[in-house]
Amino acid sequence: MRAASALLPASERRWVMIDGNEAAATVAYLASEVIAIYPITPSSPMGELADAWAASGCPNLWGQVPRVVEMQSEGGAAGVLHGALTAGALGTTFTASQGLLLMIPDLYRIAGELSPMVMHVAARALAAQALSIFGDHSDVMAARATGVAMVASASVQEAMDLALVAHAATLASRVPFVHFFDGFRTSHEVARIQTLALDDVQALIDDQLVRGARARALAPEHPTLRGTAQNSDVYFQAREAANPFYLATPTLVQQTMDALAARVGRRYRLFDYDGAPDAERVVIAMGSGARTVRATAARLVAAGERVGCLTVRLFRPFSVHHFLAALPPSVRAVAVLDRTKEPGSAGEPLYLDVVAALAEGERSIRAIGGRYGLSSKEFTPAMAKAVFDALAAERPKNHFTVGIVDDVTHTSLPVARDFDLEEPDTVRAVFYGLGADGTVGANKSTIKIIGEHTDRAAQAYFVYDSKKAGSLTVSHLRFGRRPIEAPYLIEHASFVACHQFAFLECVDVLKVAESGATVLLNSPYGPDEVWSHLPRPVQEALLAKQLRLYVIDADRVAREAGMGSRINTVMQTCFFALAGVLPRDEAIAAIKRSIEKAYGTRGHSLVEKNWAAVDRALDALAPVSLPAEVSSTVGMRETIPDTAPTFVRTVTRELLAGRGDELPVSALPPDGAFPTGTARWEKRRIADAIPVWDADLCIQCGKCVLVCPHAVIRAKVVSPADEAGAPAGWRSVPARWRDMPGQRYVLQVAPDDCTGCALCVEICPVKNKAETRLKAINMQPALPLRETEAAKWDFFLGLPDPARPPLHLHQVKDVQLLPPLFEFSGACAGCGETPYLKLVSQLFGDRALIANATGCSSIYGGNLPTTPWTTNAQGHGPAWSNSLFEDNAEFGLGMRLARDHQRDYARALLERLADRLGEPLVRELLAADQTTDAGVAAQRARVAALRERLALIDDPAAAELAAVADALVRVSVWIVGGDGWAYDIGYGGLDHVLASGADVNVLVLDTEVYSNTGGQMSKATPRGAVAKFAAGGKPVAKKDLALLMTTYGTVYVATVAMGANDMQTLRAIREAESYDGPSLVVAYSHCIAHGYDLVHGLRQQAGVVASGAWPLFRFDPRRAREGKNPFQLDSEPPSLPFKQYAYNETRYTILASADPAAAKAALAAAEADIRRRWQMVEQLAGRTGGAA
């Protein structure tokens, strides 16, 4: 059992480097008995920590391990919490954004029943015109009417301190609390803070009050009744009966803050005023932004201005008395900053509270309100100063915005960008890295070394891009002698490190470098030759800013030290060697100690390799003598050609260049509707190696095209005449199609879009007879191939696509010739989900309406800057939308109903206008058979003809019909999502939609884990697999969603695994779509969360099927109508021991390493599951024999 002191020291407080999530979760865990969790960014780490602590036996304040339970949704977690509180437990939960919205009904209940509780919220934007994972107060503001008390922390230190205040005050007041802090900015900022001691927590949590809460529990020993239904006679009075509790709460919170201050010396007030005692202008804010305002005010006061900052810590209950008392009497104007937007309101919530308070206090103070920082929009001292400046105006702009350029309704304040508060003696370091190169991990290690082993203040914050493969990470680290009060990104860096040489051509890495800064570059070129390889803008910046450049070939050093592509240790060592934060020897010794601590449990050789990397790094680091003149003629790489559509050129290009912050309001669609087909313009060039076709060996099976997750391998069959003018290196061979004699087959790779995952090579069934390691497609270094392959790709795209009707679309071989309408997504290299989506897009994309649940598929499908969903040559393509995580099936059903209603209306209008439109056309439109591609094409042609005729008819009915005529073409509604949606949070809705009988197609991309939020257990997680919230391996079997849904008898159901049987996958997806009713296809999708190199993903898919853990079947209700067994079992009896499949994946082997006995038991149980399940499906299929 881990001691509680593992979380906090017993009595002596210590300095640690942690983030806001950990700071809050530590107190929450210690002060709770039941913890109900559900993952949602950016609060997930709090739940994960609580689960991990419980799994390791860490006790709470009372020596017991809290019960941590993962629920199917935040609504479920809130329900559990409500129940636990009702039965007398101390409970907590962690959430954000939509999760908090789902908890609101229970919050009303919990508050209404005066049940003490604290919920910790990493405050985040809400999905409105778009989803955003980033931080603002939209979520907590949506909960402000529930009756919970609301405490806001502005820093990591406060996240720990005020978490305790909340847990203590809820017991004293009986009012439940929401303790919130800014998502990412505080939840993910790693900062040096002084912990509380266990003694502090114990001292503030009053055991007598705890016993009081337990005594009020619902218990049969002293039964009471709660949850009554009250009538109009008493509901009102009863609602008012709780007033004394709310009136007392502010004072109780202040008393708790005072008690904390008496112990730890950190003093907080409900409203903390900082600034000139005689201030005339005060800015009021809440959360991390208040720190920026406070620091800015301090600088302005030092310059003689009469300004101040009021930090709101207790937002609910809003104490007018304390507020007025905190505001200096000299104040003449206040600006209230809200990190939220309430469209259509008279003002945002904090502003309205302040206005009301001033009115109640009869204070003659001008009050203006404004919005800032939505979705983690940077809020800098320059912006804070802009607010102070605005307040000084004779007629200050009210309802302003700051931090953006609003050229539509002109709300934005002008910001003088040159104002900043950085201390010259603070080391400000910015690192540009690649997700996979370990940069962020190394920087976390660096700040731990400095923050925990020296007396320096330290802070780190990390920025990631939207891609899952080849993603850019930017680390912002500050180290200083004085406390760091800077909750914003570094704009003037004294140290800049670029960990990938290739970034130089596409990212302006030196933009943040201040004059004279040190620049560290990971370069394959040595100090004498690097200059000639630098793009001109980089050379210019180096000279203009007089930067000191150092280079190291970190890739070579890492490789030679046996570290592969992990350059983290090498670059970390160089940072310490150059930045001078610590004496060099001391720094190196500290790095080596941290390596031993980090890797010691993974074997001595790993430690030795890292140590070797440290020593080699110092030897390989070299300064560069800069010449006096710029010599390069090469500029930054421009990916967007001028031929791109206007939106791409004016908006997408800016987003890709990292200039999205500078786009004005007018550039963005007000309703969230974006053009598709934009990923094709984003040439990312992230693959070091790309596939190369061996035309002579190829059998033209199309498997590589089918499985390519990024749609970068494509095939066409063209006439020899089409090839005229082909670029150098072009290859084609006679097409092996009987019905295409004389045609040529060509397979082409998009070199700039390929991620280098090599799944294509893995699936290729042909081997070179002389050298068996070679196949008909082989990976080769990309660099020498780029130019020729790019030219070939461009030529290839210009070749005609084959007409659909002659193709046999039940064959993989023919499907490869269909253009994909889902291409170049930002999914992980080798993603197991995207091949299914691409296949759907090829088969039905030109008439597909897609409802996509939140998750990986909504991120790689719809996260700006670009989208992979695209159109065909006719401009038709998937129309895609994401509503929420929990409502996706219903969302898709709504689309279906709308389309059906429009179709019926159109049919009625056709009948009404038949005499004027011409009977033959109308009859054909009404009777059209659209079960085939040819039928759909014919109907499209008829609709086009219809439009022509409608244009000639002057009748409102004709205009009506023109508006809905497209609905006469059969649309294919796809409801897409992952297992977290289908098995857990959206299961109720999914079940209902499937039971509805509506013609929708559900595609579940089953990765058996919450992939997008970082690998939390879902009900699809198989037994024995380790996942977050299942650190000891999932103890129960995977839910059999597909089999469950067969019980309706009216739902087409199939399980597929492309890597095991691509023909069956193709057949199932086509059958599902053709079925005139609800269909469910559950698709096994390999995932990085399984813990193996995804190049083996397809082999693992074959393995999971061969082991019997994923039987392939199709249940087709149409067969029952024909008197046949609707259940068709498509896979063979288990032939591969489950262990042989499973133990290729870290999610299973991790348990075998950590707890062999548990792994063995889980394996035996999993094998029993397989036998039981196989017997069941065999029986359903009417198969006899074939024992498992």
660, 663, 669, 672: CA torsion to nearest 10: 30
Q: Are 1023 and 1173 in contact (CB under 8 A)?
A: no
Helix (H, G, I), strand (E, B) or coil at 730: coil
User: Which H or E run includes 160?
Assistant: helix 156-173
| Binding flag, residue 448, another protein (CB under 8 A) | no
Q: Which of 277, 1156, 1182, 1186 binds another protein (CB under 8 A)?
A: 1156
Strand-pairing partners, residue 428, are 478
Question: Judged by CB, which is closer to another protein: 698, or 839?
Answer: 698
User: Which H or E run includes 1118?
Assistant: helix 1117-1121
Question: Residue 909 contacts by C-beta under 8 Å, 6 or more apart in sequence?
Answer: 957, 960, 961, 964
Per-residue x/- mask for another protein, residues 67 to 86, rule CB under 8 A?
--------------------
Question: Judged by CB, which is closer to another protein: 188, or 716?
Answer: 188
Could you tell me the smallest distance in angstroms from the CB atom of residue 93 to another protein?
19
| Binding flag, residue 566, another protein (CB under 8 A) | yes
Q: Are 394 and 368 in contact (CB under 8 A)?
A: no
Question: Judged by CB, which is closer to another protein: 489, or 921?
Answer: 489
Q: Are 18 and 155 in contact (CB under 8 A)?
A: no
Q: How far is CA 977 from CA 35, 709, 859, 1081, in A?
A: 27, 16, 11, 11
Query: Which one from 33, 70, 74, 890 is the annotated catalytic residue?
Result: 74
Question: Judged by CB, which is closer to another protein: 473, or 500?
Answer: 473
Question: Judged by CB, which is closer to another protein: 161, or 984?
Answer: 984
> Can you read off the two tokens belonging to residue 630?
């710029």
Kindly provide the b/e burial profile for residues 1151-1180, where b requires at least 16 CB atoms within 10 angstroms of the residue's own CB: bbeebeeebeebbebbbebbeebbeebbeb
Query: Which one from 13, 109, 124, 896 is the annotated catalytic residue?
Result: 124
Read off the amino acid at residue 171.
L
Distance CA 1020, CA 86 (A): 31
| Span of 654-662, 751-759, 1023-1031, 1133-1141 interacting with another protein by CB under 8 A | 1023-1031
Q: What is the DSSP string of 1115-1167?
A: E-HHHHHTTS-SEEE-SPSP-S-HHHHHTTSHHHHHHHHH-HHHHHHHHHHHH
| Binding flag, residue 41, another protein (CB under 8 A) | yes
| Binding flag, residue 432, another protein (CB under 8 A) | no
Q: Which of 602, 659, 810, 1124 binds another protein (CB under 8 A)?
A: 602
> Can you read off the two tokens belonging to residue 290?
């208040």
Q: Which of 20, 42, 289, 370 binds another protein (CB under 8 A)?
A: 42
Could you tell me the smallest distance in angstroms from the CB atom of residue 846 to another protein?
32
Q: Which of 405, 606, 689, 998 binds another protein (CB under 8 A)?
A: 606
Distance CA 907, CA 318 (A): 58
Per-residue x/- mask for another protein, residues 756 to 785, rule CB under 8 A?
-----------x----x-------------
| Binding flag, residue 56, another protein (CB under 8 A) | yes
Query: Which one from 13, 22, 33, 41 is the annotated catalytic residue?
Result: 41
| Binding flag, residue 664, another protein (CB under 8 A) | no
Query: Which one from 311, 778, 866, 1012 is the annotated catalytic residue?
Result: 1012
| Binding flag, residue 55, another protein (CB under 8 A) | yes
User: Which H or E run includes 402?
Assistant: strand 400-402
Polymer length of the chain: 1188
Q: Are 554 and 571 in contact (CB under 8 A)?
A: yes
Q: Which of 28, 326, 1026, 1098 binds another protein (CB under 8 A)?
A: 1026
Strand-pairing partners, residue 623, are 550
Could you tell me the smallest distance in angstroms from the CB atom of residue 1088 to another protein?
5
User: Helix, strand, coil proportions of the chain in percent (round to 5)?
Assistant: 45, 15, 40
Applying the rule CB under 8 A, the residues between 454 and 493 that interact with another protein are: 462-464, 468, 471, 473
User: Which H or E run includes 932?
Assistant: none
Read off the amino acid at residue 848.
A
User: Which H or E run includes 848?
Assistant: strand 848-852
Pairing of strands 744-749, 713-718: antiparallel
| Span of 417-425, 945-953, 1088-1096, 1166-1174 interacting with another protein by CB under 8 A | 1088-1096
| Binding flag, residue 3, another protein (CB under 8 A) | no
Question: Judged by CB, which is closer to another protein: 941, or 1154?
Answer: 1154
Question: Judged by CB, which is closer to another protein: 323, or 824?
Answer: 824
Region class of 1097: left (phi > 0), else alpha (psi between -120 and 50), else beta: alpha
| Span of 65-73, 226-234, 865-873, 1141-1149 interacting with another protein by CB under 8 A | 1141-1149
Question: Judged by CB, which is closer to another protein: 854, or 883?
Answer: 854
Q: Which of 1012, 1018, 1046, 1064 binds another protein (CB under 8 A)?
A: 1012
Applying the rule CB under 8 A, the residues between 803 and 862 that interact with another protein are: 828, 859
| Binding flag, residue 591, another protein (CB under 8 A) | no
Distance CA 552, CA 441 (A): 19
How far out from the chain centre does Cα 109 lie?
A: 31
Question: Residue 905 contacts by C-beta under 8 Å, 6 or more apart in sequence?
Answer: 960, 964, 967
Kindly provide the b/e burial profile for residues 242-275, where b requires at least 16 CB atoms within 10 angstroms of the residue's own CB: beebbeebbebbbebbebbeebbebebbbbbbbb
Applying CB under 8 A, the site for another protein has a residue count of 59
Q: How far is CA 114 from CA 108, 319, 536, in A?
A: 10, 19, 66
Question: Judged by CB, which is closer to another protein: 470, or 878?
Answer: 470
| Binding flag, residue 639, another protein (CB under 8 A) | no
Catalytic (active site) residue 41: yes
| Binding flag, residue 1091, another protein (CB under 8 A) | yes
Rounded to 10 deg, the angle between the 207-215 and 156-173 helix axes is 50
Which has the closest alpha carbon to 1134: 1188, 1173, 1178? 1188
| Span of 45-53, 230-238, 343-351, 971-979 interacting with another protein by CB under 8 A | 45-53
| Span of 343-351, 898-906, 1087-1095, 1107-1115 interacting with another protein by CB under 8 A | 1087-1095
Catalytic (active site) residue 1012: yes
Could you tell me the smallest distance in angstroms from the CB atom of residue 964 to another protein?
39
Q: Are 368 and 337 in contact (CB under 8 A)?
A: no
| Binding flag, residue 202, another protein (CB under 8 A) | no
Applying the rule CB under 8 A, the residues between 492 and 531 that interact with another protein are: none
Question: Judged by CB, which is closer to another protein: 150, or 1031?
Answer: 1031
Q: Which of 632, 719, 881, 1146 binds another protein (CB under 8 A)?
A: 1146
Q: Which of 593, 604, 810, 901 binds another protein (CB under 8 A)?
A: 604
| Span of 197-205, 604-612, 754-762, 959-967 interacting with another protein by CB under 8 A | 604-612
| Binding flag, residue 97, another protein (CB under 8 A) | no
Applying the rule CB under 8 A, the residues between 121 and 180 that interact with another protein are: 133-134
How buried is 602 (Cβ within 10 angstroms: 0-12 exposed, 13-18 middle, 19+ buried)? Answer: exposed
Could you tell me the smallest distance in angstroms from the CB atom of residue 465 to another protein?
8
Question: Judged by CB, which is closer to another protein: 1113, or 1138?
Answer: 1138
| Binding flag, residue 567, another protein (CB under 8 A) | no
Pairing of strands 1127-1129, 777-781: unpaired
Q: Are 517 and 451 in contact (CB under 8 A)?
A: no
Q: What is the radius of gyration, based on Cα positions, of the chain? A: 32
Read off the amino acid at residue 470.
G
Residues of this chain that interact with another protein (CB under 8 A) are 41-42, 44-45, 48, 51-52, 55-56, 133-134, 184, 188, 435-436, 438-441, 444, 462-464, 468, 471, 473, 564, 566, 599, 601-606, 767, 772, 828, 859, 1011-1015, 1026-1028, 1031, 1088-1089, 1091-1092, 1146-1147, 1149-1150, 1153-1154, 1156
As annotated, the active-site residues are 41, 74, 124, 1012
